[in-house]
């Protein structure tokens, strides 16, 4: 079951630095891409940063719609993450990555971007336009306007992956090499 995550706790979905998928939709076109460079920026209202290359088709859709979703994928999805991270939706004619790769989605609540089923958390984002950052650094800043999580691994503001190794979040290094989020440690 998916539950809504309190906005003041939304940063915890990204705080441990997982690799994420960015999805967006504009004017009937939709796309999804992988991004390792996403980061929390503020607590409440929650803001995030994400780096999106100028060549990315998703960037076009984000700049046009001014909204996007961050989907937090899990171990069971590494091959999908790799696939959507190494192909461009721009190369697909009369189809998109979702139908091409059999990816099921569900609707966001506050924005129009497709949310990917099978992920373990989702953040719905509204772009805070910062043309200098976007043009110079490919750096996008957004406010998180809604957040959701798979209650099997995140509830009451905390991740709890024990017993759900396939639902652990993932951390990309390079070339399809990932680490799963590991054991919990309390300082």
The residues that touch its own copies, with contacts defined as CB under 8 A, are 12, 15-19, 36-42, 47, 49, 51, 75, 78-79, 81-82, 132-133, 137-139, 141, 157-159, 168, 170-174, 176-187
Cis peptide before 45 (omega within 30 of 0): yes
Using alpha carbons, select from 41, 37, 46, 36 the residue that is nearest to residue 5. 46
**Residue 62 or 108: which CB sits closer to its own copies?**
62
**Residue 9 or 148: which CB sits closer to its own copies?**
9
Secondary structure of residue 1 in the 3-state scheme: coil
**Alpha-carbon dihedral sign for residues 99, 105, 107, 110:** negative
Least Å distance between CB 114 and its own copies? 22
Least Å distance between CB 93 and its own copies? 26
H/E element, 99:
helix 97-100
Alpha carbons within 13 A on the beta-carbon side of 130: 17
**Residue 25 or 148: which CB sits closer to its own copies?**
148
Least Å distance between CB 80 and its own copies? 9
Angle at 56 between CA 46 and CA 109, to 5 degrees: 40
**Residue 95 or 157: which CB sits closer to its own copies?**
157
**Residue 107 or 136: which CB sits closer to its own copies?**
136
Least Å distance between CB 134 and its own copies? 12
Strands 105-107 and 20-26: unpaired
Least Å distance between CB 83 and its own copies? 8
Distance CA 61, CA 46 (A): 22
């Amino acid at each position: 079951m998916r539950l809504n995550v309190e906005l003041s706790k939304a940063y915890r979905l990204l705080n441990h630095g997982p690799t994420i998928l960015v999805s967006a939709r504009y004017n009937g076109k939709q796309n999804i891409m992988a991004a390792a460079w996403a980061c929390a920026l503020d607590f409440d209202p929650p803001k995030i940063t994400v780096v999106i290359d100028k060549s990315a088709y998703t960037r076009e859709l984000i700049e046009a719609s001014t909204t996007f979703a961050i989907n937090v994928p899990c171990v069971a999805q590494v091959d999908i993450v790799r696939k959507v991270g190494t192909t461009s939706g721009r190369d697909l004619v009369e189809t998109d990555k979702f139908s091409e790769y059999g990816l099921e989605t569900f609707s966001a609540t506050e924005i129009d971007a497709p949310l990917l089923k099978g992920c373990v958390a989702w953040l719905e984002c509204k772009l805070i336009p910062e043309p200098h950052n976007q043009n110079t650094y490919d750096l996008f800043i957004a406010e998180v306007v809604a957040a959701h999580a798979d209650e099997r691994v995140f509830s009451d503001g905390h991740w709890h992956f024990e017993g759900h190794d396939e639902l652990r979040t993932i951390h990309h290094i390079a070339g399809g090499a990932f680490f799963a989020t590991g054991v919990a440690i309390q300082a």
